[in-house]
Structure 1
Amino acid sequence: MPIGVIVNSLSVLFGGIVGAFLGDRVPERIRTSLPLIFGVASMSMGITTIVKMHTLPAVILAVIVGTTIGELIQFEQGIEGWSNKARGPIEKLFSSKAGIENPKDFMDQFVSIVILFCASGTGVFGALQSGMTGDHTILLAKSILDFFTAGIFAAALGYMVAAIFIPQFIVLLILFLAASFIMPLTTPAMLADFSACGGILMLATGFRICGIKSFPIGNMLPAMVIVMPLSWIWITYCNF
């Protein structure tokens, strides 16, 4: 039973609804400052996982090749297209407008939190661990943080944040179900490199949330798919 996956997704759903409902009732200084704190927190979590890296060349190669693949297939543009199509009906359904009207600013923050909720190293590893061992601790702890994160971002971005629970649930459920097949094929070194790759994405996500630099986070996602095979290849054949 994917208890951790269900709880984590519901925390985003209810956190997004509560935050969007409160909206302007949340003081402007909180809506402005807390996303910056979340950005710093994302960078901090990214750094703590990056330092556990085992095979630097494989991880760097995965990020470069993965981002190239993402750029070629325009993965982030697909996320933006989906969110643009969903934004209108959702705002119309709830008779509300997001606090951020500038489309670029909205997309910068929205795409960043999609990655934060759906593809963070903590969530991916937590879903794999939950599926393999039945231990939901990581996802349950993540649910607490995600509830408040979704609430604060929804105060500015509206009910669209609550809709992120759908892709998050799908991604985490797939990982949960695939865990019994994936985990036996991995080694501690491969998992460390996988977490480190996720850490790089979380670090870039933090920069984007803080408005420092708009990294193409969505287009970097394919790196998470290829990093473990590249790690295995490097350790097996290139570890001189």
Structure 2
Amino acid sequence: MLTGVFINGLAIAIGSLIGILLRNISEEMKETVTKGIGLGVVVLGIQMAIPTQSFIVIMISLSIGALIGEALKIETLMNRFGLFLQKRFSKSESNFAEGFVTASLIFVIGSLGIIGAIQSGVSGDHETLLTKAVMDGFMAIMLTASFGYGVLFSSIPVVLYQGSIAILANFLVQLVLPSFMDELMNEISAIGGLMILGIGLNLLQLTKLRVSNFLPGIVVLIILLSLKFVI
């Protein structure tokens, strides 16, 4: 059930280790690579967000989720955790926390991770997660070259997040109608796309959005769609 999940985490770790070897490239090259990744992430986010069929529900979920995230200070907590890892493992890395948070969000949020984890949990089909592992591995190389060791530790939340989804899907698959599951996956992909768009804009240094604080919006979306389906 968790084979694809662990391979995804391993690909990020290997990519990060390769990226560490490339850290001696010039600052100009790092900046250009990072902004190139930002452009790609922006396009990915737009592509994911466009297919939504429930835009109003998406906006309500994102807004309520932002209120919850700000109240819980999720972004602050993630940064503190990143700083703790920095002090513990890499005292010289000034952007350790930024790398950890940025990479975690890029690797965690997205339709591939969610759908792939569900496929693994429901049918044992790991093809989607293996595809994501290849993409994440190359992304980890570039991110580590720009941000440093923090990216390596982003494999931890990826494994925990996708593993939890796979295990939960394995238990709940018998209780959910296929039509509802299709709609849910489409809208989760859309709201995730908006968050990924925010990450891309941050990488381009156009904004300083606290994207982590939008994460509760995914839970709110699931609740709203469940109520809509029942009613």
TM-score of the pair, normalised by structure 1: 0.87
Q: 1:137, CA displacement in angstroms?
A: 1.5
* Equivalent position of 2:169 in the other structure: 179
Query: C-alpha deviations, 1:144-169, integer Å up to 9, x for none?
Result: 11112111111232222111111211
Matched, 1:226 2:220: yes
Q: Distance in 2 between matches of 1:78 and 1:64?
A: 20
Shift of 1:27: 4.3
Cα distance change, pair 199–182 in 1 and its aligned pair in 2 (3 A): farther
**Partner of residue 11, structure 1:** 11
SS of the residue aligned with 2:222?
Answer: helix
Aligned length: 227
String of CA shifts for 1:122-159, please: whole Å, max 9, x gaps.
21221112211222111111111111211111123222
The answer to whether the 8 Å contact 1:108/1:209 transfers is: no
Superposition deviation, residue 226 in structure 1: 1.8
CA RMSD of superposed structures (Å): 1.9
Q: Which residue matches 2:110?
A: 120
Aligned to 2:73: 74
Q: For the residues of structure 2 that align with 1:170 and 1:150, how far apart are their CA atoms? A: 18
Contact kept, 8 Å, 2:99 with 2:148, in 1: the verdict is no
* 1:3 alignment partner AA: T
Select 1:148's aligned residue among 138, 147, 160: 138
Match of 1:207 in 2: 201
- Report the CA distance between 1:236 and its aligned residue: 5.0
Q: Distance in 1 between matches of 2:100 and 2:32?
A: 17
Distance apart, 1:231 and its partner CA: 2.0
Identity of matched residues, %? 25
| Among candidates 107, 112, 125, match of residue 135 of structure 1 | 125
Greater shift, 191-200 or 78-87, is seen at 191-200
Structure 1 Cα separation of the partners of residues 144 and 157 of structure 2: 17
2:87, 2:16 → 1: CA distance?
Answer: 17
